[in-house]
A = this chain, B = another copy of it.
Amino acid sequence: MCRWLAYSGSPVLLDTVLYRPEHSLINQAIRSRMGVEPTNGDGFGIGWYSGNGDGTPAVFRDIGPAWSDRNLRELAAHVSSHLFFAHVRASTGSAIQQTNCHPFRHGRWLWMHNGAIGDFQRLQRDLCMAVDPALFPSIEGSTDSEVMFYLAVTFGLDQDVPAAVARMAGLVERLGKEHGVAEPLQMTVAVSDGERVWAFRYSSHGKSRSLFYSSRAETVRHLYPELDYLAEVSDDTRIVVSEPLGDLPGVWNELPEGSYAVIPSGPHTDYEPFVPEL
């Protein structure tokens, strides 16, 4: 059911993060260790903010497995960004098509998701109807993930991200309860406006897919002074990812169930509690 990665910090070539690590996202596509499905070969996508004019990120999505896509490799080797998303997909039933690959984009917003809405086919119509009618035609695919995004936009993503996501989660759980769905919502979600990244981890039954965030760069530098490449990244450079990119102790921290993190983060706290709006 997918694996994803969000990066925010000093501009880097995408492949530094996407391809080079020992257990890179590309490797997680072939053989994930913590995912529900070991293989995530039903498409992929990247979104990146390039600093061009109007703040709209670029999105590159395709339907083949990420591990064999030459164009992705080329792009990653030649494109730099200070903030980017990457996602590899394992379909939970919906069609294999570009419009069902993450990240989804709306204006300056990017969104990606790992998880599922339980019994989505039963809730789909009501959820689509709860999307702002003006946004309904923007739903291009058939995934639960995309509908969740447009619900969050409808509920005020532009004004308050955690509140909008909490309202969306609350609606999904309410509707699920009405329809007798045992576990309406499973989600790790990342959303960004090009300046910050919000990462959420929540599930109705408290057993969300895995999600980790990196320690602050200064912390990692102290632990591993021999890692030269870290010498140049800003202190607030952070990665949030479904599975740790490597095995060095102290580098990766699990985002707890029912919480969300914001990057760049404040000095005192890495995450806050997340509760769906009742």
A residues sitting closer than 8 Å to B (CB atoms) are 13, 30-31, 38-39, 41-42, 48, 50, 52, 58-65, 68, 70-71, 74-75, 77-79, 91, 94-99, 120-121, 124-125, 128-129, 133, 136-137, 139-142
Seed contacts A38-B38, A42-B68, A48-B78; 14 additional CB < 8 Å A-B pairs: A31-B39, A39-B41, A42-B65, A58-B77, A63-B64, A64-B64, A68-B91, A68-B96, A71-B71, A94-B140, A95-B97, A95-B140, A96-B98, A99-B142
Residues on B with beta carbons closer than 8 Å to the beta carbon of A125: 133, 136-137
- Closest Cβ of chain B to A116, distance in Å, is 14
Number of copies: 4
Alpha-carbon separation in the docked complex, A149 to B125 (Å): 17
A74 / chain B contacts, CB cutoff of 8 Å = 58-60
Residues of B within 8 A of A94 (CB): 140
In the bound assembly, the distance between CA atoms of A91 and B77 in angstroms comes to 22
* A277–B60 alpha-carbon span in the complex (Å): 44
Query: In the complex the two chains form, is B52's CB within 8 Å of A75's CB?
Result: no
Indicate which residue in B64, B77, B95, B137 contacts A96 across the interface (CB closer than 8 Å): B64
A201 CA to B203 CA in the complex, in Å? Answer: 50
Closest 9 CB pairs of A and B: A97-B97, A58-B78, A121-B137, A125-B136, A50-B78, A41-B41, A58-B74, A95-B99, A68-B96
Chain B nearest CB, measured from A235 CB (Å): 26
15 contacts between A and B (CB under 8 A): A30-B39, A42-B65, A42-B68, A58-B75, A58-B77, A61-B70, A68-B91, A70-B95, A78-B79, A95-B98, A95-B99, A124-B136, A125-B137, A128-B136, A141-B142
Are B60 and A71 in contact, CB atoms less than 8 angstroms apart? yes
What is the bound-complex CA distance between A56 and B60, given in angstroms?
A: 21
- What residues on B are CB-neighbors of A50 within 8 Å? 78
Given A13-B52, A52-B13, A91-B68: A60 and B41 interface contact (C-beta under 8 Å): no
Q: Which of B75, B120, B142 contacts A60 (CB 8 A)?
A: B75
